[in-house]
Amino acid sequence: MNPLKKEIPATLAEHIDGIQSYNLIISIADTLQIKPDPLPSWWKEKEIQYIQQK
């Protein structure tokens, strides 16, 4: 799956493995300066974690 033999970033590896990336959703919402409607059940917890990492 990696023909160039380069390291695959962990965030991309999550997508390859089919794991949902909460950071992607939060990043898009942050970039667009909006909140999803309706808010996913995990939104507030992940949003707080994301803000603390900045």
Query: Residue 53: which region, alpha, beta or left (left: phi > 0; alpha: psi -120 to 50)?
Result: alpha
pTM (2 d.p.): 0.37
- 45 neighbors 21 (Cβ within 8 angstroms): no
- Total domain count, the chain: 1
- Assigned domain for 31 exists: yes
- Assigned domain for 37 exists: yes
- Assigned domain for 26 exists: yes
pLDDT score for 34:
86
pLDDT score for 19:
57
Span 3-16, pLDDT tens digits: 677 776 666 655 55
pLDDT score for 53:
79
- Assigned domain for 7 exists: no
- Assigned domain for 44 exists: yes
- Assigned domain for 6 exists: no
Domain that holds residue 26: 17-53
Span 1-50, pLDDT tens digits: 556 777 766 666 555 555 556 677 777 888 888 888 888 888 888 888 87
